[in-house]
């Protein structure tokens, strides 16, 4: 396909207000050339707003947008050269697939012959050459979104924006199309911002994941880092499942139910805190039998997720999620007593109130 | 008016029918409709069409149909067509603009609810009531006219146009515009904001959007609605009759004329022939209309 090295995209301190609602509250984010960044965050945190500002569909109340070194903050959408794939199906219903893909080229006065040829090439890229003459109403949701991707890329944009392009699809089509989008993006080498509220999707597709909350970026980093080293309790909570367990900080580590776990940020004062522990850091150490102890409890539910299973254990005063290989989880059906073990990977803590003994 | 049974034009979800080949009992559902249409539409039409072949002595004749070429019937046909076409086009344009203003506003706003419910009532407003409303307000003894006249604005200096075709057209607009709103609003609602944004992000401007996207999408619905408005005006009777009792410009009035002995000859067979002419014209328009509908429903 057209070989083009991506450009750098910089969002600087973007602010956007709707009446009293501040949708973006000083968002800063830089995308490296050719990089795919996934913006992840709960509903209403401002993901779509960020995307629409970048696309020029919405005006910023403050801040700058710089694409390839050019300030485009005041430029209207139709002069930004940005490809966009919308959440809901946005194909023009009165045009067949190739006409949709060719539309942007028509706007750029490409000759009729040339634009049909290039539209068919693009459809080929997304694996839909056979569907060139179908109307949107004659295609599945996944096919429509692939045509939308081809349409967005046909104009050879500098930046590609996708706003939850997969959210209307069922799980299987979803993960297939997700990989497809990534393949195409890598092939074209275009700088891409991908908005989603599905963390699995974000972690699977992105070079870097940006986690947003209340119009701000909480953390930006590679998926593995965002998952294993969440920068804030919010990120830990939002990305992946987290056990919140009562503990006591003492000398740079936190003691949770008899196990001492190092802290990610050790320089905090001693005192009670809540440790955020991933289910995969909790394992089943063996049958609990008639033992007593802080980590002995009863299995109350087992959820099979394929290769792994998630086991809910009642420890009396709290319940804990443990994620294990299905083979070992199946030895502990609901009702059995088990002894848990906590892995001693560094964890984040959260404090509900300031530590009583500030030293 | 034939509008009553046709409130939602562009909304039909015309997906291609799937798997209709095997034996199925789906058709049972339409039996009541077919029975109704047969009893109240086809049967009377057939009786009228056949009745027009019978003369006063009960013998077969082609005379009634031949009489359709009488100059006053031809003139009436032309007049009716012109008035219907003019009020249909004007009503369609004004109604479409009004609909557009409504969809630009908030979807549950006061304006929308007000206009839609008013249209529902006004589209059915016709006959003596409507004619009287106009006569009592802007007629030569109406309060609006008297007020305007008293302030030096006499809009009847060149004749009382309210009782002529101009006036009839104006009165017709009173139900044509609301009907257009009812019929066209669903089509406008079907236009998604993402299409405009997609056009913009692909490099198009407002003109491109209307020229290549919204225009082509709405045009069949617009044309279809215009045809519906035409048929609506073409078959109206009571309003015209209440407003204009001299000259009888409308075709529907000619039927009345042929049936009443006071004007001259009492010609029931001829009246039926005129009715058949009207049925044919309205049917043609309706067929065109449904062809257009089929086209839009493939997209929306
Ligand atoms: N056009 C608008 N008018 C008023 N408020 C708006 C508008 N668009 C967005 N908002 C508000 O701005 C905030 C951010 O909205 P945004 O659509 O960016 O969220 P999001 O992260 O995309 O959420 P979701 O995951 O639900 O799509 C929300 O509180 C929303 O209510
Ligand atoms: Mg959104």
What CATH number does residue B207 fall under?
A: 1.10.3720.10
Q: What Å distances lie between residue B80 and A213, B230, B248, B257, CA to CA? A: 66, 10, 10, 15
Q: Could you tell me if the ipTM is greater than 0.90?
A: no
Structural domains of chain A sorted by starting position, each given as residue range(s) with its CATH number in brackets: 9-233 (3.40.50.300), 241-350 (2.40.50.100)
pLDDT at A200: 86
Asked whether the beta carbons of residue A78 and residue B205 sit closer than 8 angstroms, the reply is yes
pLDDT at A2: 44
Kindly give the confidence (pLDDT) of every residue in chain A, 359 residues in length, as a single tens digit, with 9 standing for 90 and above.
444 578 999 999 999 999 999 999 999 999 999 999 999 999 999 999 999 999 999 999 999 999 999 999 999 999 999 999 998 779 999 999 999 999 999 999 999 999 999 999 999 988 899 999 999 989 998 899 999 999 999 999 999 999 999 888 888 888 888 998 999 899 889 999 999 988 888 988 999 999 999 999 999 999 988 888 888 888 988 888 888 899 999 888 899 998 999 988 888 888 898 888 888 899 888 887 777 888 899 998 898 888 889 999 998 888 899 999 998 888 888 889 999 999 988 888 887 654 444 33
Q: For chain A, what is the radius of gyration of the CA atoms?
A: 24
Which chain A residues are closer than 8 Å to B216 by Cβ?
94
Q: Write out pLDDT tens, residues B153-184.
A: 888 888 888 888 888 888 889 889 999 999 99
Q: Is the pLDDT of residue B12 over 60?
A: no
pLDDT at A24: 94
Q: What number does the ligand 1 atom closest to the CA of A87 have?
A: 27
Q: What Å distances lie between residue B42 and A326, B38, B205, B276, B289, CA to CA? A: 70, 5, 50, 12, 19
Mean pLDDT across B208-236: 91
**Sorting pLDDT into bands at 50, 70 and 90, what band is B134?**
confident
Q: Write out pLDDT tens, residues B18-56.
A: 444 556 777 788 888 889 888 888 898 898 888 889 888
pLDDT at B20: 44
What lies within 8 Å, CB to CB, of B178 at 6+ separation is B95, B118, B119, B120, B121, B122, B123, B125
Residue B10 lies in a domain: no
Total structural domains in chain B?
1
Q: Which residue of A has its CA nearest to B300?
A: A93
Mean pLDDT across B259-277: 80
Residue B107 lies in a domain: yes
The pTM of the whole model exceeds 0.95: no
- End-to-end distance of chain A based on CA atoms, in angstroms? 62
Q: Which residue of A has its CA nearest to B195?
A: A90
Q: Is the pLDDT of residue B2 over 80?
A: no
Q: Give the phi and the psi of residue A260 in degrees, each rounded to 5.
A: -95, 125
Cα separation, A302 vs A322, in Å, equals: 10
The residues on A that touch B, with CB distances below 8 Å, are 55-57, 76-84, 86, 88, 90, 92-94, 103-104, 106-108, 135, 137, 151-152, 155
Residues in chain A: 359
Pure H helices in chain A:
47-55, 97-107, 112-125, 141-154, 171-188, 199-205, 223-228, 233-238, 326-329
Q: Ligand 2 centre and the CA of B276: distance in Å? A: 58
Residue B2 lies in a domain: no
pLDDT at B22: 59
Q: Ligand 1 centre and the CA of A51: distance in Å? A: 11
Mean pLDDT across B216-237: 89
Residue B37 lies in a domain: no
Residue B143 belongs to domain spanning = 72-297
Average pLDDT value for chain B: 83
Cα separation, A45 vs A69, in Å, equals: 28
Q: Is the pLDDT of residue B14 over 70?
A: no
Residue B62 lies in a domain: no
Q: Write out pLDDT tens, residues A17-70.
A: 999 999 999 999 999 999 999 999 999 999 999 999 999 999 999 999 999 999
| Tokens encoding A309 | 């299973």
Choose among A94, A104, A135: nearest Cβ to B216: A94
Q: Which residue of A has its CA nearest to B202?
A: A104
Mean pLDDT across B206-220: 93
Q: Which of A214-218, B59-63, B134-138 is modeled with the greatest confidence?
A: A214-218
């Amino acid at each position: 396909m057209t070989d083009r090295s991506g450009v750098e995209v910089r969002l600087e301190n973007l602010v956007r207000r709707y009446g009293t609602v501040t949708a973006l509250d000083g968002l800063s984010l830089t995308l490296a050339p050719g990089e795919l960044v996934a913006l992840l965050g709960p509903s209403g945190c401002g993901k779509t707003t960020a995307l629409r500002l970048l696309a020029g569909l919405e005006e910023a109340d403050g801040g700058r947008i710089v694409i390839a070194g050019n300030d485009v903050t005041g430029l209207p959408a139709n002069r930004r050269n940005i490809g966009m794939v919308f959440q809901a199906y946005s194909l023009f219903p009165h045009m067949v697939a190739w006409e949709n893909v060719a539309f942007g080229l028509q706007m750029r006065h490409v000759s009729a012959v040339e634009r049909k040829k290039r539209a068919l090439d693009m459809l080929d890229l997304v694996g839909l050459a056979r569907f060139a003459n179908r109307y949107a109403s004659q295609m599945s949701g996944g096919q429509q979104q692939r045509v939308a991707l081809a349409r967005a890329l046909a104009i050879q944009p500098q930046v590609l924006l996708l706003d939850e392009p997969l959210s209307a699809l069922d799980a299987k089509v979803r993960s297939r199309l997700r990989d497809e989008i990534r393949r195409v993006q890598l092939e074209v080498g275009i700088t891409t911002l991908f908005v989603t509220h599905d963390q699995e999707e974000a972690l699977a597709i992105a070079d870097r994941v940006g986690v947003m909350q209340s119009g701000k970026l909480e953390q930006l980093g590679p998926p593995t880092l965002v998952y294993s080293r969440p920068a804030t309790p919010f990120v830990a909570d939002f990305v992946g499942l987290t056990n919140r367990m009562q503990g006591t900080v003492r000398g740079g580590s936190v003691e949770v139910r008899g196990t001492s776990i190092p802290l990610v940020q050790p320089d905090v004062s001693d005192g009670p805190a809540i440790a955020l522990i991933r289910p995969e850091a909790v394992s089943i150490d063996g049958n609990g039998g008639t033992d007593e102890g802080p980590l002995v409890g009863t299995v109350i539910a087992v959820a099979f997720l394929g290769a792994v299973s998630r086991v809910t254990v009642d420890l009396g005063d709290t319940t804990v999620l443990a994620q294990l290989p299905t083979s070992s989880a199946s030895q502990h059906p609901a009702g059995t007593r088990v002894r848990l073990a906590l892995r001693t990977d560094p964890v984040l803590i959260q404090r509900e109130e300031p530590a009583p003994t500030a030293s | 008016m034939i509008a009553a049974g046709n409130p939602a034009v562009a909304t039909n979800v015309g997906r291609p029918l799937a798997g209709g080949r095997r034996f199925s009992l789906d058709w049972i559902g339409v039996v009541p409709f077919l029975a109704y249409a047969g009893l109240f539409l086809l049967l009377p039409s057939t009786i009228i069409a056949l009745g027009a072949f019978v003369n006063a002595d009960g013998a077969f004749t082609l005379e009634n149909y031949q009489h359709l070429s009488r100059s006053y019937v031809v003139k009436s046909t032309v007049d009716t067509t012109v008035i219907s076409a003019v009020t249909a086009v004007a009503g369609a344009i004004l109604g479409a603009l009004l609909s557009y203003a409504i969809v630009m506003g908030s979807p549950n706003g006061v304006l929308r609810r007000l206009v839609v419910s008013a249209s529902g009532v006004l589209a059915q407003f016709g006959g003596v009531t409507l004619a009287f409303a106009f006569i009592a307000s802007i007629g030569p003894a109406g309060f609006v006219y008297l007020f305007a006249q008293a302030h030096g604005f006499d809009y009847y200096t060149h004749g009382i146009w309210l009782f002529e075709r101009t006036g009839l057209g104006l009165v017709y607009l009173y139900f044509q515009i609301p009907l257009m709103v009812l019929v066209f609003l669903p089509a406008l609602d079907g236009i998604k904001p993402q299409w405009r944004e997609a056009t913009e992000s692909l490099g198009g401007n407002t003109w491109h959007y209307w020229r290549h996207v919204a225009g082509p999408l709405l045009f069949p619905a617009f044309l279809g609605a215009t045809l519906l408005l035409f048929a609506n005006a073409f078959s109206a009777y009571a309003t015209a009759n209440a407003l204009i009792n001299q000259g009888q410009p409308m075709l529907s009035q000619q039927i009345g004329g042929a049936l009443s002995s006071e004007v001259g000859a009492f010609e029931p067979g001829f009246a039926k022939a005129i009715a058949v002419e009207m049925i044919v014209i309205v049917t043609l328009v309706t067929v065109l209309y449904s062809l257009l509908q089929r086209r839009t429903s493939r997209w929306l």
